[in-house]
Amino acid sequence: MPYKANESRRHKIPKVRYRVENWSAYDAALRRRGDLTIWVTPEAIAGWTPARSGRRGRPSRYSDLAIEAGLMLRLAFGRPWRQTEGLLGSLMRLLGPDLPVPDHTTFSRRSADLEVASALVRTDGPVTVVIDSTGLKVFGRGEWHLEKHGGHARRSWRKLHLAVDPDTGEILASALTPNEEGDASLLGPLLDQIARPIGTVLADGAYDGEPVYRAVAAQSPAAEVIIPPRSTAVPSATTETSPTQRDRHIRMIKERGRAGWQRAVDYGRRSLGEVAMLRYKTLIGRSLHARTLPRQKTEAKIACKVINIMTRLGMPASRRAT
């Protein structure tokens, strides 16, 4: 059963309650998340059609910005492609500009190789990064198909890897991979997307290992790495002469225990990465709508951009209730 090791004392741990201190401002930010002027800005209208390149062949009718705007509307409001096409068409009629609206097949086709513009936030100065991953379901065969034609249910997943700023809640980097990809192998590519120096990297025990520490050092040599070593972890051969960060974590856990180590290094900040995963699944959904991996990668990047826009509108400032 879950938590069997702590079963005798778990009932003594009270549930932590928090109080939102800026409710009026946060309430206004939640309403602004439905404001259509956020999603169709004057800049988007101005860049809707691409400039002529002068090359031979038929010019593109829609810019990447137009395709990206449709993707953002689709994910922000949870609509299928045809309804997104209708939503954009009605917005153009209301706004007045004589601009063409891509059809649903154009949206789907162009999203496979779309370069997302400024999808993620750029930070100033050293930043704290929380790394985590979660699973997103891919649509497969439905129950009707299985009942009629037989076969076995096929549950397919993709892994969404995120690098989150725990201070602001914004997504700094993202990657979508097949389910077979290991978590630790994506840490380097995630950090490469962050242009600013990194102050601290937090992750769970799945990322424990010297390759992860080397990947962080390659990006920011002075960065602090806070990852709980496995229970079977042993110090390195140089622990007596030049201990590594991992050696120091192992020593502190041996002296203070894991709970004492977590308090000493403020490991609780890592849970804010899980909060970002919950925010993604609440605002966007637990499933990917696209059917192919290239389109799914674009969908995940656009979803992170939508979440960052919503996050910048306002977040709750909560404190622990006494």
**Average pLDDT over the chain, rounded to whole?**
86
Q: Are strands 156-164 and 198-202 parallel, antiparallel or unpaired?
A: unpaired
Our measurement of the distance from residue 191's CA atom to the centroid of its chain's CA atoms, rounded to an integer in Å, reads: 13
CA-based angle 135:137:142, to the nearest 5?
160
Model confidence at 13: pLDDT above 70: no
- Which tens digit of pLDDT belongs to each residue from 42-94? 888 888 888 776 677 676 788 888 899 899 999 998 889 999 999 999 988 88
The structure's pTM equals 0.84
Our measurement of the distance from residue 153's CA atom to the centroid of its chain's CA atoms, rounded to an integer in Å, reads: 28
pLDDT range class, residue 31, cuts 50, 70, 90: very high
Average pLDDT over residues 3-30: 77
Alpha-carbon separation of residue 222 from 95, 192, 199, 217, 249 (angstroms)? 51, 16, 7, 7, 16
| Inter-residue contact 169 to 236 (CB < 8 Å) | no
Distance CA(23)–CA(21), nearest Å, equals: 6
pLDDT range class, residue 1, cuts 50, 70, 90: very low
- Which tens digit of pLDDT belongs to each residue from 167-212? 999 999 999 999 888 888 999 999 999 888 899 999 999 999 888 9
- Which tens digit of pLDDT belongs to each residue from 146-159? 666 666 656 678 99
Phi, psi (deg, nearest 5) at residue 218: -65, -30
Is 127-288 CATH 1.10.10?
no
Distance CA(278)–CA(284), nearest Å, equals: 10
Closest CA to 273 of 184, 136, 169, 146: 169
Give CA torsion, residues 36, 39, 45, 48, to 10 deg.
-130
- Which tens digit of pLDDT belongs to each residue from 306-319? 999 999 999 988 88
Distance CA(48)–CA(64), nearest Å, equals: 8
CATH 3.30.420 segments of the chain = 127-288
Which helix (H) or strand (E) segment holds residue 209: the answer is: none
Distance CA(123)–CA(194), nearest Å, equals: 8
Q: Is the pLDDT higher at 98 or at 73?
A: 73
